[in-house]
Structure 1
Amino acid sequence: MPFGRLLHVELRKLVDTRSGRWLLIAMGLVTAAAIGFTWSLSERESLTFSTFAEATTTPQMILLPILGVLTATSEFSQRTGLVTFAQEPRRLRVVLAKMAAVCIVGVLAIALGLALAAAANVLAGTFQDAPASWDLRWPAVGGVLLAELIGVLSGLGLGLLLANPGFAIAAYFLIPMLLPLMALVSWLKDAAPWIDPNPSSRQLLSGHMTATDWGHLATSNAIWTLLPLVLGSWLLLRREIK
């Protein structure tokens, strides 16, 4: 099967399954609600493009990795694996198509979030006499985009590794909560920034990255994003599909 057709199939699966469809709907509703809350609860002077952009992209960064998990586990939870791997026996190509599909959705989600933020900024300036400032820092936008892509690929990797949507989603949210505890262990304190992606991710979202921050980001995500992807793909190549 040509890779383009395989990618199209994986993109269709994101909306054809009930869980994927409802997750995308929920993401749209939560994003709209975030704009509404920002509009109603923020001071008029703070209603800027940057404020609305933060409101629209934050829910996406939380929910999109779940879509990565569901994409990876759909072959087992929806029992479509026999059909998928009969049409394309080269399983690694299926994994690559899933990776491309979730990355495309991640980029489109950021673009849609920025478009909604721009519309809200114009409306706030028109109807609430807000400053309607376009003070968005593009390094921060790039950081949000990279963080979102890392998130969906991390979710995909955990889904491939665990092959169970419930376990993978729980692991995705629990691991970042537990990793900061390493700072409490004296012999792990110095190594923590190289293992825990949370500090470097915060720097990435702020748009202020140093060479050390990039090193922390690369090594920590090699552990928690790249390694699950590699191990999960390796297991998928050897897993019996029923």
Structure 2
Amino acid sequence: MKWTFAPVSRAGWVAIHVEARKLIDTRSARWLQLVMASVGLVLIALAIGLTSARSATLELSVVLAGLALPGAVIAPLLAILAITSDWQHKDVVKFYAVQPKRSVILAAKYIAVTVFAVAVVLVDCVIALLVATVFSWAANVPLVYGAYGSSLWQVVCSVVVGSVSGAAVASALMSTPVAIVFVLAQSTVLDLLIGFIPNIPAAYLQSGTFSSFLSEGGEVIPAVSSALIWIVVPALIGAWRHAKRDVV
């Protein structure tokens, strides 16, 4: 069988552009970004304050972690809004009228979510570098780059995998509040509870296994199992539901 490269059509690029724009210009998305920025600034201030109080060196990876933590939590919520918001307000009717192929719109949502997650990480990286450099110069505190590269890669894996997983779960549930509650419980409660259940391979079932494998390495089979449970299966269910759901 001969495989050929099929470039993205103009309609596909338009759909990606529209979905990417909705991630930054809707009211709910702006509020989430404001919360993300505010929490990040508070965490940066705490990290710098502790460093100044101890008269220690300032590690750039610590500043990046302070900025990236809210990104890792809120990026999946933005992904959920990207997948479900159209259905909540019936906007999907006009989108499907313009682009009848539902798979194109759903794929555009996934691509937009992934690109946005990477953009969040890059912005975090630049802001962390600027803040750390300015504080180091102003307070005459040595700046240590240390494990900045590995810390950045961990943030990339956490944010991107979390966003894609959130989008997949949202596509399967197709309800904004239910998906948000489920994703928050998944990352804060379910993984912890699974780890306490005796006599089961917890790593195979926990959602964080796949992200940890990408950032730190480890066994392949548990990572594949985690990806199947929390990304692939919900994405397939979501694709089927989007194809079958009535938009009228």
Q: Which runs of 5+ in 2 are unaligned?
A: 1-9
Matches within 5 A, 1:182-197: 182-188=194-200, 191-197=201-207
- Residue number among 25, 30, 36 corresponding to 2:39 in the alignment: 30
The root-mean-square deviation of aligned C-alpha atoms, in Å, is 1.9
Partner residue of 2:6?
Answer: none
Other-structure match for 1:8: 17
* Percent sequence identity over aligned pairs: 23
Q: Distance in 1 between matches of 2:171 and 2:206?
A: 21
Q: Which piece of structure 1 moves more, 151-160 or 139-148?
A: 139-148
Distance (whole Å) between structure 1 residues aligned to residue 50 and residue 87 of structure 2: 43
- CA positional deviation for 1:37: 2.1
Matches within 5 A, 1:119-138: 119-138=130-149
Equivalences, count: 236
Counterpart of 1:154, as a letter, is: S
Aligned in 2, Cα 1:2/1:187: closer, same or farther, shift over 3 Å?
same
Cα deviation, residue 170, structure 1: 0.5
Question: 1:180 Cα deviation (Å)?
Answer: 3.4
Measured against aligned partners, the alpha-carbon deviations of 1:95-131 in whole angstroms (never above 9, x if no partner) come to: 1100111111111110110111101111121111211
- Normalization by structure 1: what TM-score? 0.90
Counterpart of 1:238? 244
Task: Indicate the SS of the match to 1:230.
Answer: helix
Q: Identify the residue that residue 208 of structure 1 maps to in structure 2.
A: 216
Q: How does 1:1-242 map to 2 (within 5 A)?
A: 2-42=11-51, 43-176=54-187, 177-188=189-200, 191-199=201-209, 201-202=211-212, 204=214, 207-210=215-218, 212=219, 214-242=220-248
Whether contact under 8 Å (1:44, 1:128) holds in the other structure is no
Cα distance in 2 for partners of 1:34, 1:185 equals: 33
The answer as to whether partners of 2:76 and 2:165 remain within 8 angstroms in 1 is yes
Once the two structures are superposed, residues 34-82 of structure 1 have per-residue CA deviations (whole angstroms, 9 ceiling, x without a partner) of 2222212333424221111111111100110000000000111232111
In the superposition, relative to structure 1, how do residues 12 and 46 fare at CA in structure 2: closer, same or farther (>3 Å)? Answer: same
From the superposition, tell whether residues 29 and 184 of structure 1 become closer, same or farther in structure 2 (CA, over 3 Å): closer
* 1:208 shift after superposition: 3.1
SS at match of 1:45: coil
1:162 to partner: Cα distance = 1.2
DSSP 3-state at the match of 1:240: coil
Q: What SS does the aligned partner of 1:114 have?
A: helix
Cα deviations across residues 153-181 of structure 1 (Å, max 9, x unaligned)?
A: 11111211111111001000112412433
CA distance in 1 between partners of 2:237 and 2:88 (Å): 20
In 1, distance between residues paired with 2:16 and 2:209? Answer: 34
Structure 1 runs not aligned, ≥5 long: none
CA distance in structure 2 between the partners assigned to 1:128 and 1:71 by the alignment: 42
Task: Return the TM-score normalized by structure 2.
Answer: 0.88
Distance in 2 (alpha carbons) for counterparts of 1:57 and 1:175: 19
Q: Distance in 1 between matches of 2:125 and 2:55?
A: 20
